[in-house]
Every structure is written in structure tokens, then in C-alpha cells.
Amino acid sequence: MKAAKLGIVYHMPFWRGADGTLREVEGSFSRYVDGLAPYFDEISLCVPVLDGPRGEGTPIRSSNVTLAPLPPFDGPAQFYPRLLTMAPRIARWVRTIDVLHCRVPTPAAVFAFAFAHAVRRPAFLLVVGDLRALLPTMPYRGVKRGLWRAYTEFEERGIQWMADRALTFANGAALTRKHTRSHRAVIETTTTTIAADDIASRVDTCAASPLRVLTVSRIDPRKGLRALPAAIRLLSSGGIDVRLDIIGPCVGRTGEGERDAIVDEARRLDVADRVSLLGPVALDRLMPMYRAYDIFVLPTLPGEGIPRVLLEAMSAGLPVVTTRVAGIPGLVTHEANGLLLDRATPDAIAAAIVRLAADAPLRQHLIARGYETARRFTLQAQSARMMDTVSRELHLVLRHPVVLPAA
């Protein structure tokens, strides 16, 4: 069949800018949509739509992307109380599309998939996170913890139910193994936001003082960011003039609590002048900002697929320090294109930064290999590989033929 109209369901909020452009809060999803847009006559996004802007946002650049608006929601706590309003909208929307794409976890996906299954619309999934692995890091207690555990189990069962019935891609090897079953294999992919022209050319960093360290991450308990002020304290106590910038939005009230805890810890350790939380930065403005830093650190906890910020950092010529969790070892090889920590403790983070700052040959090697990794995982390459599989497996005729990147 001809796949003229692709419908994508996800939870990233959009709004329409004063110039008429569709804008997304973070930017990674808008770039992903732009990567798929050449293959379809139209892409319809079933997403929460805001009444006004939330920050700068990142625009959708493709002219064939439209909105099927849902009322605003930040997560399941806002979505499920409105389910009786949401479900009919989703059902009507599914009937208007030719192919459904669910990017999960997201609250609306299982309902959209069920409606698509009922009316025989083909569908494919992209699994980007692991809610079950996140449970130990969630700060809830009592009733809230019980509700979150129940939601997690419902969402995980829903994802597996969809993966058992549809073509499914997963971000990284860990998620691929988790959702593969004997009767249906899941296809490993790597989510990314970088284009070929985002890849820098500098060969080294750490040439001046202060040493500038960058973390880009949503701020919530799952990201391990509370270890960073103590790591900066260890470095400054050891005579290293260091500054840390943390860029990223708070995720709900727990994210706001985490931000406050990081700020309080930095003050307690007397490094508040060395640790800055800059809030969210639109992706188009963020990408060139990476190049102003010397080292990238992501002390994330289990529950990730492969964080796209690692590729963004590599593309900017930053040596990467991150944790050996989830799908990350499928992208980062220790001492080849980054440094992997078994546990993201302040001591381990500080030691890795000291090592990179002192060892120029290692630093330059990691940067060079990071560029090689980034070139393999551009958005254009990922989209082409996915669409080649989608067109073959679902017997779809795409708007433009797929041109696969060279091996």
C-alpha cells in the first residue's frame, strides 16, 4: 500500500509560533520527525499542544507536518484523569492516517495502537526507555509509589503487547534484548539528533583555565546528577579550576525537587560559584554550545536506552564520561570513544575528569574516535535504515526511495 500519511503519537508538547512554525519544547523529537518527513506525503502528530510557548522550542522544518492536538499533559498523572476525553480524539485520528508510529513509553500509545489494530492500520514502534528499570530511583513513597508502580506495570505490559504484534525498533542492545521474543525479533537502532554538518573538527580540548565541564540532561532523580557537586568539590580541592554547567529542563515536581537538591548540595559544599544550572536550551542553540566546553559528563542511572546527548557531545569534539548502564556500552567503548564508569560516584567522576585533563593523547584519541562514532549515527542514516525496514516489512510504498548509507 502507499504510505501517504504517517501518524506519530508521543508526549512531547508542541505549540504554534508567531511565525506559524510548529515548535517542540526539547528539540530531539522535532529533529526525529524531520528525519522521517521526506518519506511521507504528510506526518500527523498526535501530541499535547500548548496554548502558548514554553521557552524557545525547536521548530519543525518540514512543511508536510501537521498537528492532531491533544489537551496539554506532562505525564500519566495528567493524561489518565482525562482519558475519557483523550480516547475518542485518538480513535478518530487513527482513522485518518495510513500508518501508525508509536514512540514509547508514552501514555497515549497503547490506546492508539489498540484502535489502529481494530481498524487494520499497520503500525511500528520505537522503544526509547525502560520504566521498570527506573523504579528503584523514583523518589515516591507510600500511595504515590504504589500508583507509579501500577502505572509502570501497565505501561510495560502495554509496550510488550504492542511489540509482540508489530514491527518494533529499540534504542540500544539492552532494550532490544528485553522486548525480543522467540516469535518476534526486535530491531536494534540508535536514536540520534545529529546531522552530518553538526560534526566539528577540533582535535583537542582542555587548553585553557578554567576547565569547563558540561552535562546535558533532564533534571530528575533518574539521571544521577546529585553526584556532580561533590565531584566538583573534589576537583577544586585538588587544585583544579573547574566549572560545571548543567543544561536541561526539570521533569515535573520531582525534577524541581532534584534541581533544588543539587543547588543545596553545591552550596553546602561551597562550590555554588562553580556549578550552574542553566535550564532548558533549544536544541538548535544548544548544538553549537557544546563546542565551548572541554569534557562532557553524564552520570545517568539504569533506565536509559542510549542517551542522544552522548552523540551530540561526540559530534562537538568532547571527550565523554558516562556510566556503564542500559544501552550505553553499545555506543561507548571504554577508552576507545569515551570513559565508562561502573558507578557514577563523586570519586569516580572526579578521577575520570582528572585523567582526561592530564592525558592529552588519551583525550585526543577519544575525540577522534568520537567523531567516527558520530558519523555512523547521523539522523539521516538512522531514518534511512528504519524506513528501509518499515517499507519492506509492512509492504509500504514510500514517497521517496530509501538510500542507505555506506557501511
For the chain, 407 residues long, give each residue's pLDDT as a single digit of tens. 777 999 999 999 999 988 889 999 888 999 999 999 999 999 999 999 999 888 888 999 999 999 999 999 878 889 999 999 999 999 999 999 999 999 999 999 999 999 999 999 999 999 998 888 877 777 777 888 888 888 899 999 999 999 999 999 999 888 999 999 999 999 999 999 999 899 999 999 999 999 999 999 989 888 999 999 999 999 999 999 999 999 998 877 788 999 999 999 999 999 999 999 999 898 989 999 999 999 999 999 887 778 999 999 999 999 999 999 888 999 999 999 999 999 999 999 999 999 999 999 999 999 999 999 999 999 999 999 999 999 999 999 999 888 888 66
Q: Residue 49 and residue 17: Cα distance in Å, rounded? A: 12
**CATH code of the domain occupying 5-192+378-393:** 3.40.50.2000
Structural domain boundaries of the chain?
5-192+378-393, 197-376
Q: What is the rounded CA–CA span in Å between residue 399 and residue 18?
A: 30
**197-376 adopts what CATH topology?**
Rossmann fold (3.40.50)
Say how far apart CA 265 and CA 267 lie, in whole Å: 5
The pLDDT score that the predictor gives to residue 407 is 61
**Which residues face 276 on adjacent strands?**
245
Asked whether the beta carbons of 41 and 5 are under 8 A apart, the reply is yes
Q: C-alpha cell of 393?
A: 516489512
Q: Which of left, alpha, beta for 304 (phi over 0: left; psi -120 to 50: alpha)?
A: beta
On the question of a common fold for 5-192+378-393 and 197-376, the answer reads yes
